Amino acid sequence: MRISRLHYITQDNIPGYTHAQLAEEACKGGADWVQLRVKGKGTSEWKKIAEETLAVCQKYNAKLIINDNVRIAKEIGADGVHLGNDDMHPEEAREKLGEKFIIGGTANTFFHLESKFRFADYIGLGPFRFTSTKEKLSPVLGAEGYKQILSSCKSSGIDIPIIAIGGIKEDDLDGIFQTGIYGVAIASIVNAAENKAAAMKNFIQRLEKVSLQ
Ligand code: TZP
Ligand code: MG
């Protein structure tokens, strides 16, 4: 299974848009990978949101990854889960979900990455810079932080696609990919735009111009 180089993430409280509508705009703009990031909702409301978003992703043939909630991901038949510090351990998730499910995680340090996510399918590493999208933000890594962590991965034989996340804008792409990163994840640059589909399309065009290794 191929991990996309561009992960689009939905957000709560975007005026006038549900998560499914955000996903639809992103997919119209060319997104092929959507992470549903819902916070503070009870299971039944969350599951309904996940089902609506899955229908959109299926229409556009995009992958749907559910943030935090292994049970909902399994019940609705999503493509994967994204697990952070407070979520189920990825190895337990693998047992529950089987080999075909995509399991990703968030890390901030090399130690965290290798101790917890060695067997994940991809790792979101960040934040690249400060962002107000996430509460309780870990220390900012910047390009230097990525270089160091990617070099530790190389010397330890860890070969997992690493996705940069946190405050990423088009003008950051050259510098980020120079670190050897595999891909990037974005939320507010699309979600805060007036025309979200156009913002996604523009971001993809800029990403395609960056020489990938
Ligand atoms: N994890 C680390 S930073 C972040 C998450 C979910 C937020 C990414 O959103 P944005 O708006 O692209 O900074
Ligand atoms: Mg989480």
Report how far apart, in Å, the C-alpha atoms of 164 and of each of 8, 17, 117, 123, 125 are: 12, 26, 15, 9, 5
125 Cα to the center of ligand 1, angstroms: 10
**What's the topology of domain 6-211?**
TIM Barrel (3.20.20)
pLDDT at 122: 97
Q: Which atom of ligand 1 is nearest to the CA of 131?
A: 13
Question: Ligand 1 within 6 A of 166 CB?
Answer: yes
Is pLDDT at 213 greater than 90 in this prediction? Answer: no
Q: Tokens 């978003």 belong to which residue?
A: 53
Share above pLDDT 90 across residues of the chain, in percent, rounded to a whole number:
94
Residue range 16-65, pLDDT digits in tens: 999 999 999 999 999 999 999 999 999 999 999 999 999 999 999 999 99
Give me 16's structure tokens. Answer: 């006038």
CB 32 within 8 A of CB 210: no
Question: Ligand 1 within 6 A of 167 CB?
Answer: yes
CB 116 within 8 A of CB 90: yes
Average pLDDT of the segment spanning 113-118: 89
Question: Ligand 1 within 6 A of 127 CB?
Answer: yes
151 Cα to the center of ligand 2, angstroms: 26
> Which ipTM score applies to this complex?
0.98
* C-alpha neighbours within 13 Å on the C-beta side of residue 189: 21
Q: Tokens 């996705």 belong to which residue?
A: 163
With residue 35 as reference, give the H or E element that holds it. strand 33-36
The listed range with the strongest mean pLDDT (78-87, 111-120, 186-195) is: 186-195
209 Cα to the center of ligand 2, angstroms: 32
Give me 76's structure tokens. Answer: 């609705």
Low-confidence winner among 5-19, 112-126, 161-175, 193-207 (lowest mean pLDDT): 112-126
Mean pLDDT for all residues in the chain: 96
Is pLDDT at 212 greater than 80 in this prediction? Answer: no
DSSP category for residue 170 = G
Looking at residue 41, its amino acid is: K
Q: How far apart are CA 18 and CA 1, in angstroms?
A: 29
Is pLDDT at 163 greater than 80 in this prediction? Answer: yes
Q: Tokens 């640059």 belong to which residue?
A: 189
* Of 72, 147, 153, 152, nearest in space to 120 by CA: 153
CB 51 within 8 A of CB 74: no
Residue range 55-72, pLDDT digits in tens: 999 999 999 999 999 999
Per the model's pLDDT, the better-predicted residue between 67 and 85 turns out to be 67
Is pLDDT at 174 greater than 60 in this prediction? Answer: yes
pLDDT at 211: 62
pLDDT band at 85 (very low <50, low <70, confident <90, very high): confident
Q: Is 37 annotated as a binding residue?
A: yes
CB 194 within 8 A of CB 25: no
Q: How far apart are CA 35 and CA 33, in angstroms?
A: 7
Q: How far apart are CA 127 and CA 166, in angstroms?
A: 4
pLDDT at 1: 75
pLDDT at 9: 98
* Domain coordinates in residue numbering, the chain: 6-211
Give me 130's structure tokens. Answer: 């400060």
pLDDT at 86: 86
Does the pTM surpass 0.90? The reply is yes
